[in-house]
Amino acid sequence: MTGVVGDMEAVQYHIGLSRAMLCGARYVFLPGDPDRVGPIASFLDRSMELVQHREYRSALGYVGNIPVLVMSTGIGAPSTGIAIEELARLGVTYFLRLGTTGAIQPHIALGDLIISEGAVRLEGTSGHYAPVEFPAVASLPLTQKVVEAALHHHFSYQTGICCSSDSFWPGQERYDSFSGYVQRRFQGSLEEWQHLGVLNFEMETSALFTIARTFGLHAASLCGVIAVRTQGESVREGVYAQVKERLARVARETVRRHAAWAGARCG
């Protein structure tokens, strides 16, 4: 891969995209899994796959005449941080995470959508951008449009705080890892987050919120519940496919509503 890391016109070193390839896209949908890029892009108009480099698979589509990029981030905060850095250089302004998640509150059902207002920074990447006292909070206008889009489609959703962990097992207090050991600092943490009203665990949102905020950009996070940990860890047949479709439909409607709102404000 050629390109200069800091050159805003060149092909970006990690994601393999240039400004010209984005056709002016200011919105990006960010699933973690590269295999979700195609299905999400299929809900856009005139979509086409661009490139895959490392964990970053990308496709470009449209909502009406609005160009929208779909790009995977891979798993976790470090690769998400790289994606935000390089996309920002290419002119992307609005970042919408589309993820899957495990809920930790008993009132949340499989298939529900969780729209995060803020995130517990239980990962290290955001600390390279802002001190721990700096909050990981969503963009209010963009998040409001996500809520409106979920209501438009009559999808069940929850709003609140998520917890972004740097690990899938010990940081989320899972004991079915290879060693079965969880550090003392994480023992009992699941119950503590439940008491504090945290809705779910995932691995990217707090880095997204923190980095976007420090860059003066706008971010929202929408996750679909594929496991409810108060009931068990298994993913029921059909839930994953249902969640992917709901994420894509809400994301598309979010762009339509947000672009209309932003255009009206400018007008």
CATH code: domain of residue 83: 3.40.50.1580
| Beta-carbon contacts of residue 208 (< 8 Å; ≥ 6 apart) | 30, 80, 84, 95, 97, 219, 221
Reported as type and span, the H/E element at residue 144 is: helix 140-152
CB atoms within 10 A of CB 264: 8
Q: What pLDDT is stored for residue 235 in this prediction?
A: 80
Domain limits for position 91: 20-266
Whether 82 and 191 have beta carbons less than 8 Å apart is answered as no
Average pLDDT over residues 37-55: 97
- Tell whether the model's pLDDT for residue 1 goes beyond 80: no
pLDDT band at 34 (very low <50, low <70, confident <90, very high): very high
Residue 10 maps to a domain: no
Q: Give the CA diameter of the chain.
A: 59
Sequence-separated (6 or more) residues with CB below 8 Å from residue 91: 19, 22, 24, 25, 26
Tell me whether residue 6 is in a domain: no
Single-letter residue type at 245: E
> Model confidence over 74-133: pLDDT tens digits?
999 999 999 999 999 999 999 999 999 999 999 999 999 999 999 999 999 999 999 999
**What's the pLDDT at 237?**
74
Give the Cβ contact number of residue 186 at 10 Å: 18
Give the model's pLDDT for residue 174: 96
pLDDT tens digits, residue range 181-234?
A: 999 999 999 999 999 999 999 999 999 999 999 999 999 999 999 999 999 888
In a domain? residue 15: no
pLDDT at 2: 46
Q: What is the pLDDT of residue 6?
A: 59
Q: Is residue 7 part of a domain?
A: no
Residue 4 falls within a domain, yes or no?
A: no
Q: Which helix (H) or strand (E) holds 106?
A: none
| Residue 18 near residue 9, CB atoms below 8 Å | yes
Active site residues: 14, 86, 174, 229
The CA–CA distances, whole Å, from 126 to 13, 154, 207, 210, 266 equal 21, 34, 5, 6, 32
In a domain, 9, yes or no: no
* Number of structural domains the chain divides into: 1
Residue 60 lies in a domain: yes
Residue 73, amino acid = T
Evaluate whether residue 2 is within a structural domain: no
Looking at the predicted structure, is the pLDDT value of residue 267 above 60?
no
